[in-house]
């Protein structure tokens, strides 16, 4: 099975019996295309390698590249910076999820939700008007 994943830091390309003739072409075209993808990291350029899980071709090389990527990201501080941004985003996603959950289960909101949703679906009121109606229910 051929695997093409965009925006990867290490891109292993595997071939299937159906694409064996196109495989070298795909590999070189994909490798060339990587030059045009904006860099995601200051200290790493995406790599493209040919691999085969059937023959084992370059599996060790793929593993080496993945480890090199990890080491480069950790040593440059980019791993930590990305993890900090992710953690902050996760914090706010959890807060947002909890606020919405609490809002939807609030007694005054719960008793009006079905009617307001129906009015929005029918086009009697806009989504913004419906939201305001439900938000006003807890004031």
Q: Give the position of tokens 């290490």.
A: 10
Position 59 scores a pLDDT of 87
> For the whole model, what pTM was predicted?
0.61
Q: What are the Cα distances from residue 43, in Å, to 87, 123, 139? A: 22, 52, 51
d(CA 136, CA 130): 10
Helix (H, G, I), strand (E, B) or coil at 75: helix
Higher pLDDT, 119 or 59: 119
Helix (H, G, I), strand (E, B) or coil at 122: helix
Which of the four pLDDT bands, split at 50, 70 and 90, describes residue 55?
A: confident
For 2-44, write each residue's pLDDT tens digit. 444 444 565 555 555 444 444 566 666 777 777 777 888 899 8
Average pLDDT over the chain, rounded to whole? 83
Higher pLDDT, 124 or 1: 124
């Amino acid at each position: 099975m051929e695997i093409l994943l965009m925006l990867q830091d290490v891109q292993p390309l595997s071939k299937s019996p159906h694409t064996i003739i196109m495989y070298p072409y795909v590999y070189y075209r994909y490798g060339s295309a990587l030059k045009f993808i904006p860099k995601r990291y200051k200290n790493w350029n995406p790599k493209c390698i040919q691999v085969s899980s059937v023959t084992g071709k370059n599996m060790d090389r793929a593993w080496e590249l993945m480890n090199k990527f990890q080491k480069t990201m950790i040593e440059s501080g980019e791993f930590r910076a990305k993890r900090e941004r992710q953690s902050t985003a996760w914090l706010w996603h959890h807060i947002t999820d909890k606020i919405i959950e609490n809002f939807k289960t609030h007694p005054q909101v719960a008793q009006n939700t079905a009617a307001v949703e129906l009015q929005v679906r029918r086009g009697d009121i806009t989504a913004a008007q419906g939201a305001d109606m439900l938000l006003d229910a807890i004031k």
